[in-house]
Every structure is written in C-alpha cells, then in structure tokens.
C-alpha cells in the first residue's frame, strides 16, 4: 500500500463547493452583489470557455445567474462590433473580475490577434488585456496558455505569445490546465466572493486545486510503490515508464476528475501529459515516452 494521504483541507468536492457558496451568503444577497466580469479570449483555441460551458454542479447557468455578471465575452456574446466593445469600456468603470483565456501575442505590437474594433481602430488582445488588467479587482488567467504561455507559446512561437503575467505588472491568479477544469474557475470565484482570495502557491495557483501532484493521489500509486509498471498502453498498472507526467503535475484530477466526475486520463489508461504544468507542452514532450 502507498502511504499517500488525501488532505481534506485542500480538496474541494462539489458538495463543499456548493456549501461554500450557499452558507457564506444567501443566494439572494449574492445575486444583489454580483460582481461584473469580463472574459477576454486572447490567443487560444476557445477550449476554456467551452470547458466552462460544460460545467456541472454548479453549472455555467448557475455561475452566470448567481455568481458573476458577465458583461463581455468576445467569443460567445450576442452583441457585436462597437456595441459589444462599448460594454467592455463601460465595465472598466465598475468593480470587475478579468478572466483571460489564451496567451497574449506580442509580435508586431500584438497585431497577430485583433479582438475588437473601437471607432474604426483595431484593438489587439495585448491592448485589451492591458486596458482591463490594469483596472480589474482580480485578474484570473484561465488555462495553461494564459497562465504560462502553453501551446500558443510553444516552439517556434511565431506570434511571440506570452502569459498574462508577462504583460501585466500586478498579481494574476493562474488556473492552468488544457483546458482548465470548470470547477477550478467556479471554485476560485466562489472563494473570492464568499471568503476573499484563496491561498496561492508560488506560481499563483489556488492550493485548493493545485496543492498536490497527481502522483500523490493517483489510484495507481500502489503499483508505482511496488515497482509494477505498464509496458504498453492499456495495461492497468502504473504508467510511469510510458512517460506519465503525474509525478510533476499538480491538479486535483485524481479526486474530482472531468465531465462531472465521469473520468480522467489515467482512469482511461492514458498517461498524464502534464497539461497543467508551466512548461507544457515543450517541457513535457515527447509524450508517452519514459
């Protein structure tokens, strides 16, 4: 048997997440004091907003109706053009949370990623992130690209993408993951609105979700401890010798899994590829290789 333990203080189950929201303030009170939010899609694949829309317990509707007033999202909002960007500008004069999904392209002064037009002028993601990032109460980088550069900044990085913290001179809460698990977004916001900013680690990740390595709590850990390793994909033992990056990757995937606790990579016989780590993907390649 392995001697790894689950620490209840930094493991948030769905019931804990809901009770944190419900017990600290009543839903009505929360509704009245909902903080505004801007969600900026910079250089990425939209995977993080899609992941959020697939949230379960609480789901995305609960998040949008009860927890934040999402005024602007350049990927999914109904308004377009100047009408949409005016809402972005108006939100800057309020108290708001800025979510950024995707890295920021720096090449040619950010012209590799135009996110809006204002009075006939192109607005780059670089400009929009700076405009909102300097005034937001909290800045949350959603996903590995926003947190660390990720796939958008992978070699040879033709658009010179960087993380959000490289373009803002302030604290950024990082929620890496490719994509980011919706529980990490909703849980972080739930903590902010009910108890304030969650405790962060040295890479500004909430300890609630990034406090342990996957290896610490992997259900296959007893195989590792006994030196029983899979020699090919499909064998239900430790995948360390198939290149599993669980020993260096910090998320709560073994406990809370994905898609409403349905499954996760190791549960489906696929080694962890370290998608939530700072040097993903370049520093984690070659995948499936010891």
| Residues in touch with ligand SF4 (CB under 6 A) | 214-215, 218, 220-221, 224, 238-240, 244, 246-247, 266, 272
Shortest spacing between CB 202 and ligand SF4, in angstroms: 22
List Cα–Cα distances, 75 to 84, 257, 258, in angstroms.
Answer: 11, 26, 23
Phi and psi of 229, rounded to 5°? Answer: -120, 140
Shortest spacing between CB 260 and ligand SF4, in angstroms: 22
Cβ proximity to ligand SF4: between 128 and 272 the closer is: 272
Q: Residue 40: which of 79, 81, 98, 91 has the closest Cα?
A: 98
Shortest spacing between CB 270 and ligand SF4, in angstroms: 10
Shortest spacing between CB 171 and ligand SF4, in angstroms: 31
Shortest spacing between CB 109 and ligand SF4, in angstroms: 42
Cβ proximity to ligand SF4: between 176 and 254 the closer is: 254
**C-alpha dihedral, 199 to 172 to 49 to 45, nearest 10°:** -130
Cβ proximity to ligand SF4: between 198 and 246 the closer is: 246
The residue number with the shortest CB distance to ligand SF4 is 246
Cβ proximity to ligand SF4: between 173 and 266 the closer is: 266
**Which residue is listed with tokens 């317990």?**
57
Cβ proximity to ligand SF4: between 195 and 226 the closer is: 226
């Amino acid at each position: 048997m392995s001697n790894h333990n689950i620490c209840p203080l930094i493991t948030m189950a769905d019931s804990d997440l809901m009770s944190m929201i419900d017990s600290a303030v009543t839903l009505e009170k929360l509704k009245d004091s909902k903080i505004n939010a801007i969600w900026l899609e910079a250089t990425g694949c939209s995977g993080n907003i899609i992941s959020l829309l697939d949230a379960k317990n609480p789901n995305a509707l609960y998040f949008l109706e009860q927890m934040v007033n999402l005024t602007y999202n350049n990927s999914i909002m109904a308004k377009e053009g100047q009408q949409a960007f005016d809402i972005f500008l108006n939100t800057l004069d309020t108290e708001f949370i800025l979510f950024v999904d995707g890295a920021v392209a720096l090449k040619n002064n950010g012209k590799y990623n135009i996110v809006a037009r204002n009075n006939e002028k192109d607005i780059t993601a670089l400009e929009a992130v700076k405009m909102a990032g300097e005034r937001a109460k909290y800045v949350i980088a959603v996903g590995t690209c926003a947190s660390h550069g990720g796939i958008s900044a992978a070699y040879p990085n033709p658009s010179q993408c960087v993380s959000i913290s490289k373009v803002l001179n302030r604290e950024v809460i990082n929620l890496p993951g490719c994509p980011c698990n919706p529980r990490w977004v909703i849980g972080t916001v739930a903590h902010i609105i009910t108890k304030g900013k969650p405790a962060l680690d040295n890479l500004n990740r909430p300890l609630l979700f990034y406090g342990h390595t996957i290896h610490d709590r992997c259900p296959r850990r007893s195989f590792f401890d006994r030196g029983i390793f899979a020699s090919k994909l499909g064998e239900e033992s430790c995948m360390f010798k198939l290149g599993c990056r669980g020993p260096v990757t910090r998320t709560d995937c073994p406990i809370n899994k994905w898609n409403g606790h349905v499954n996760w990579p190791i549960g489906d016989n696929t080694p962890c590829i370290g998608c939530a780590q700072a040097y993903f993907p370049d520093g984690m390649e070659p995948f499936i290789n010891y």
